C-alpha cells in the first residue's frame, strides 16, 4: 500500500510539468487508514507547494483525522521561507503523524533540514520510498543542483537512411504532424530551446509553442561572430532570446547578447552561464554540428530521435544515436527512440 500511495503522489507531481521551474515537481497524498483524504501538487512557481495544497484539500469533516494521518511526499518538505512559508512547519502545525518521502532535497537551503525539523517535532519520517522514480521525475532539478548545469535533451529527426537534412544542409520535412505536435509539447515543458547559427539561418525557426497550449521557452542561439540577419524570427522580440557570441554583451529589447571567451571551450562556459540564470533544462534542436558538439563533450542527458520511413540517399548525416535505450515507440508513422546517457 505504501508504494501505491507514493505512486499516486508521483503521478500528481507530473501535473506541474512546464509550470514550476526552477522549483522541483512535487506531489503529496494525505492518507488515513488506507483512504486518501487529501492530495495536491505544486501547480505553479511562486504559488502554494504540494503539501499545502494537499492539506487544504482535506474536507472539513475529515480535518480531525490529520493527527492520525500519513503524508506521502515525493521530495523532502522545505524548511525555509521563500515565496511560500516552510511546508515542514505546516505539517508540524497540523500534527501529521508520519511523513514518507522519495528523495532528500539536494538544495542546500533544505538539505536534510526539513526532515530534521519534522523529527524534532515528534513526526515519524521515512525516506527512500521509490527513490529511483523520484529521481527520474526530477532529473532536471537533480542535474541542476548536483552538476551545476541544465539538463540537456538532444532532439532531432532523421530519415531511414540516417540523414538529418538534404544536400548542403537544405531543410527537408522528415517527421510527421503528430511528431511535430509532440515536439511543441516538449518545448512547453523545458526552460529553454537552443539552435546553432546554421539552423537559425537556413530554417528561420520561431522556436515557440504553437501547436499545443503552454508557455514559450527561452530561445537560445549560438552566433559566434554575430552574422545572423536581424530579420530572422529569432529577433522578433516575441519572447526572450539569448545570443551567445564572442563579440559583445548587450540587451536589445527581448534579446540578450552574452559574450563568451573565444579562447576557452564554448559549451562549458555557456552551460555555466545558463546555471547562473537558473535555467534547469535545454532542448537542443540544432543541426548535426551543434548536436555532435554536445555529444563529443559528454554534456548531454537524453536523446530523443524521430526516425521516419523517408529515404534521402544524400545530405547531412545525423549524429549516431547512443546511450541506454529507454523506449522505442511509434508516433504516427515515425519511430521515436529515447535514450539516456
SS3 call for 34: coil
Q: How many angstroms separate the CA atoms of 56 and 166, rounded?
A: 56
Answer positive or negative: Cα dihedral of 61, 67, 70, 74.
Answer: positive
> Per DSSP, which regions of 63-104 are E strands?
70-75, 98-103
Residues 6+ apart with CB under 8 A from 103: 74, 75, 76, 127, 128, 131, 134, 135, 138
133 C-beta neighbours (distance < 10 Å), count: 16
Of the candidates 158, 157, 213, the residue with the CA atom closest to the CA atom of residue 187? 213
End-to-end distance of the chain based on CA atoms, in angstroms? 33
Phi-psi bin for 261: left (phi > 0), alpha (psi -120 to 50), beta? beta
**Is residue 51 annotated as part of the catalytic site, yes or no?**
yes
**CA distances (Å), 48 to each of 27, 51, 69, 278, 280, in order?**
12, 8, 21, 20, 20
Alpha helices (H) in the chain, listed in sequence order: 2-13, 50-55, 87-93, 113-120, 131-137, 139-147, 177-189, 197-203, 266-276, 288-297
Q: How far apart are CA 72 and CA 211, in angstroms?
A: 35
**β-sheet bridge partners, residue 220:** 194, 242
Catalytic residue among 51, 158, 189, 190: 51
Does residue 22 have a cis bond before it (omega within 30 degrees)? yes
Q: Residue 227's CB: how many other CB atoms inside 10 A?
A: 9
Active-site positions read 51
Amino acid at each position: 500500500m505504501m508504494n501505491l500511495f507514493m505512486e499516486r503522489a508521483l503521478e500528481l507531481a507530473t501535473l506541474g510539468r512546464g509550470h514550476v521551474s526552477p522549483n522541483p515537481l512535487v506531489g503529496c497524498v494525505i492518507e488515513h487508514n488506507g483512504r486518501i483524504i487529501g492530495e495536491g501538487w505544486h501547480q505553479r512557481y511562486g504559488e502554494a507547494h504540494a503539501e499545502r495544497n494537499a492539506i487544504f484539500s482535506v474536507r472539513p469533516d475529515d480535518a480531525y483525522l490529520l493527527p492520525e494521518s500519513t503524508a506521502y511526499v515525493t521530495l523532502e518538505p522545505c524548511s525555509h521561507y521563500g515565496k511560500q512559508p516552510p511546508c515542514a512547519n505546516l505539517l508540524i502545525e497540523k500534527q501529521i503523524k508520519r511523513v514518507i518521502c522519495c528523495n532528500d532535497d539536494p538544495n542546500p537551503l533544505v538539505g536534510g533540514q526539513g526532515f530534521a525539523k519534522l523529527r524534532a517535532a515528534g513526526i515519524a519520517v521515512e525516506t527512500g520510498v521509490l527513490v529511483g522514480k523520484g529521481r527520474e521525475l526530477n532529473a532536471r532539478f537533480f542535474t541542476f543542483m548536483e552538476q551545476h548545469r541544465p539538463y540537456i535533451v538532444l532532439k532531432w529527426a532523421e530519415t531511414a537512411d540516417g540523414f538529418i537534412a538534404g544536400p548542403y544542409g537544405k531543410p527537408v520535412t522528415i517527421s510527421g504532424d503528430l511528431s511535430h505536435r509532440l515536439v511543441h509539447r516538449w518545448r512547453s515543458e523545458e526552460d529553454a530551446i537552443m539552435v546553432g547559427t546554421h539552423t537559425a539561418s537556413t530554417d528561420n525557426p520561431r522556436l515557440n509553442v504553437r501547436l499545443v497550449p503552454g508557455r514559450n521557452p527561452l530561445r537560445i542561439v549560438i552566433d559566434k561572430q554575430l552574422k545572423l540577419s536581424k530579420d530572422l524570427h529569432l529577433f522578433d522580440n516575441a519572447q526572450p532570446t539569448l545570443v551567445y557570441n564572442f563579440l559583445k554583451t548587450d540587451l536589445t529589447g527581448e534579446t540578450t547578447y552574452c559574450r563568451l571567451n573565444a579562447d576557452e571551450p564554448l559549451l562549458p562556459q555557456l552551460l555555466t552561464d545558463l546555471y547562473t540564470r537558473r535555467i534547469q533544462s535545454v532542448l537542443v534542436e540544432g543541426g548535426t554540428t551543434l548536436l555532435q558538439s554536445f555529444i563529443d563533450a559528454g554534456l548531454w542527458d537524453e536523446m530523443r530521435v524521430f526516425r521516419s520511413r523517408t529515404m534521402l540517399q544524400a545530405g547531412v548525416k545525423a549524429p549516431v544515436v547512443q546511450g541506454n535505450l529507454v523506449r522505442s515507440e511509434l508516433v504516427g508513422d515515425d519511430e521515436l527512440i529515447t535514450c539516456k546517457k
